[in-house]
Chain A
């Protein structure tokens, strides 16, 4: 579904991605793990067209995303939940959700999806009139995922959904990600919390200094001695 081949990207003179090569198949949960600053977020921003790829290819369903605007990429069904959640702080929970569906015109479908995400996260229904900035971290993460779902993604990109959350909330969020995947959405998950991510995912990649250095099934990565030492703290 998504394929990156030797992607390079960066900001000005700083090159964050040197050679990222990976694939995400339809229906999968694939995770990209790596240390702080390895280029995980930049990889997602390159897929979304926010940071332009300087070399290499990014293909979605066989077609190159090169030169497409972020808007056109969302239209194709790639939607990101960015790091730090980036809730619009002074818009209400409901308005945040409506903006997730910004490119959609099917009012009836939008209403159905609103009901659906409020069933996934009942707390959002209670807080629908509240400004997004007043929610707690966990609630904001739920809102950010729901906002992305409102776009009816075919491929959902998640950047560090566990960041700064309590273990109980993390478990809840990961359970929802599994459910979203079971309902038919392909998931590409970027995580520093390698243990949790590998337990959830089918396959994983390891990113080091802007290069994908390891690719395997999630189970084998969990058993890999190098991965254990570097990312699992065992």
Chain B
């Protein structure tokens, strides 16, 4: 999403996801002590993680990307990698270099009992949340005033200024929305996998980017489809070949897509009349 608007691969996006998971872990720990339970912990932890992540995302853009807006494209990219490394090491020093157990924040549902061996509550919650967020994001971008401003900024930043759009605010908003989504992802996946550490954002960021490229960058359903294709490829590779090779297959798929269909599965080629 950020890439769509300012043509910057936000390498620190995965770190926001990781920060979201850490904040949720801390909040969940505190809430458990105070005797909260079940859904309340999950919702409060996710909410606080989202708020913190929004603040981090906003700050990240202000200090690391905005000063480089008019610089050559490589400069903000390097700045992004720098921020990614900084945030990883900051969390490693402030927290711990080891894996921490992450509580299963998603409670079990009684009515899923009969199918529990096929699909658990965590999977259902993750699927439903993803679907809701995808629809929400699509509506935001298609139909709201700020969504229209985002698309205009993406297509022609100077012209967006000339119609009176405050481009800086639109970009900040984009980072905030992206960061909130990353944090929610971090909380859900952390809860699903049961452990987190300072480096989980790195692979997640690269995989998310791969999924976005697979699906067609800038397309929301494309990103979801790309994620599914990527996940299935990994699972099949792990099942039929060896789990040691799942990343090989994932990135091999990326290379194939880039060669055969650079615009992605649902993407459109960037060509237009002028």
Give A residues with C-beta under 8 Å from B. Answer: 48, 50, 69-71, 74-75, 79-80, 82, 84, 86, 88-91, 95, 98-100, 102-103, 133-134, 147, 151
B162 contacts the other chain (Cβ, under 8 Å)?
yes
3 closest A-B pairs by beta carbon, nearest first, are: A74-B164, A86-B159, A103-B164
Total number of A-B contacts with CB less than 8 angstroms?
Answer: 68
Q: Which residue of B lies closest to A89 (CB)?
A: B272
Complex contacts, A48 vs chain B, CB 8 Å: 161-162
Q: Is B164 in contact with A70, judged by CB distance below 8 angstroms?
A: yes
A-contacting residues, B228-274, CB 8 Å: 272-274
Complex contacts, B19 vs chain A, CB 8 Å: none
Contact of B163 among A50, A134, A147 (CB under 8 A): A147
Interface with A: B88-96, B145-153, B205-213, which one? B145-153
Give B residues with C-beta under 8 Å from A. Answer: 145, 148-149, 151-152, 155-156, 158-166, 272-274
Q: Taking A99-B148, A134-B273 as contacts, is the C-beta distance between A82 and B164 under 8 angstroms? A: no
**Complex Cα–Cα for A86 and B152 (A):** 11
Q: Is A86 in contact with B158, judged by CB distance below 8 angstroms?
A: yes
Q: How far is the CB of B115 from chain A (nearest CB, A)?
A: 43
**Complex Cα–Cα for A168 and B200 (A):** 63
Sample 17 A-B pairs with CB under 8 A, ordered by A number.
A48-B161, A50-B158, A75-B164, A84-B274, A86-B159, A88-B152, A88-B155, A90-B151, A91-B155, A95-B148, A99-B152, A99-B165, A102-B145, A102-B149, A103-B163, A133-B272, A133-B273
Complex contacts, B165 vs chain A, CB 8 Å: 71, 99, 102
Q: Which residue of B lies closest to A134 (CB)?
A: B273
Q: Which residue of A lies closest to B273 (CB)?
A: A133
Complex contacts, A133 vs chain B, CB 8 Å: 272-274
Q: Taking A70-B164, A103-B164 as contacts, is the C-beta distance between A89 and B273 under 8 angstroms? A: yes
Q: Is B159 in contact with A88, judged by CB distance below 8 angstroms?
A: yes
Chain B interface secondary structure, helix, strand, loop or mixed? helix
Q: How far is the CB of B206 from chain A (nearest CB, A)?
A: 28
**Complex Cα–Cα for A155 and B163 (A):** 14
**Complex Cα–Cα for A133 and B268 (A):** 14
**Complex Cα–Cα for A151 and B151 (A):** 19
Complex contacts, B272 vs chain A, CB 8 Å: 89-90, 133
Q: How far is the CB of A76 from chain B (nearest CB, A)?
A: 10
**Complex Cα–Cα for A103 and B165 (A):** 8
Q: Which residue of A lies closest to B153 (CB)?
A: A88
Q: Is B164 in contact with A98, judged by CB distance below 8 angstroms?
A: no
**Complex Cα–Cα for A95 and B165 (A):** 14
Q: Is B159 in contact with A82, judged by CB distance below 8 angstroms?
A: yes
**Complex Cα–Cα for A139 and B204 (A):** 46
Q: How far is the CB of A128 from chain B (nearest CB, A)?
A: 15
**Complex Cα–Cα for A134 and B145 (A):** 23
Q: Taking A89-B272, A102-B149 as contacts, is the C-beta distance between A50 and B156 under 8 angstroms? A: no
Complex contacts, B274 vs chain A, CB 8 Å: 84, 89, 133
Q: Is A100 in contact with B148, judged by CB distance below 8 angstroms?
A: no
Which of A75, A99, A151 has most chain B Cβ within 10 Å? A99
Complex contacts, A70 vs chain B, CB 8 Å: 161-162, 164
Q: How far is the CB of B104 from chain A (nearest CB, A)?
A: 43
Complex contacts, A71 vs chain B, CB 8 Å: 161, 164-166
Complex contacts, B166 vs chain A, CB 8 Å: 69, 71
Q: How far is the CB of B150 from chain A (nearest CB, A)?
A: 11
Complex contacts, A69 vs chain B, CB 8 Å: 166
Complex contacts, B158 vs chain A, CB 8 Å: 50, 82, 86
**Complex Cα–Cα for A100 and B164 (A):** 8
Complex contacts, A95 vs chain B, CB 8 Å: 148, 151
**Complex Cα–Cα for A113 and B156 (A):** 24
Q: How far is the CB of B142 from chain A (nearest CB, A)?
A: 10
Which of A50, A70, A100, A133 has most chain B Cβ within 10 Å? A70
**Complex Cα–Cα for A86 and B149 (A):** 15
Complex contacts, A98 vs chain B, CB 8 Å: 148
**Complex Cα–Cα for A156 and B161 (A):** 16
Complex contacts, B156 vs chain A, CB 8 Å: 86, 88
Q: How far is the CB of A159 from chain B (nearest CB, A)?
A: 10
Contact of B155 among A84, A90, A100 (CB under 8 A): A90
Complex contacts, A86 vs chain B, CB 8 Å: 156, 158-159, 162
**Complex Cα–Cα for A70 and B145 (A):** 19
Q: Which residue of B lies closest to A101 (CB)?
A: B163
Complex contacts, A99 vs chain B, CB 8 Å: 148-149, 152, 160, 163, 165
Q: How far is the CB of A32 from chain B (nearest CB, A)?
A: 18
Q: Is A91 in contact with B151, judged by CB distance below 8 angstroms?
A: yes
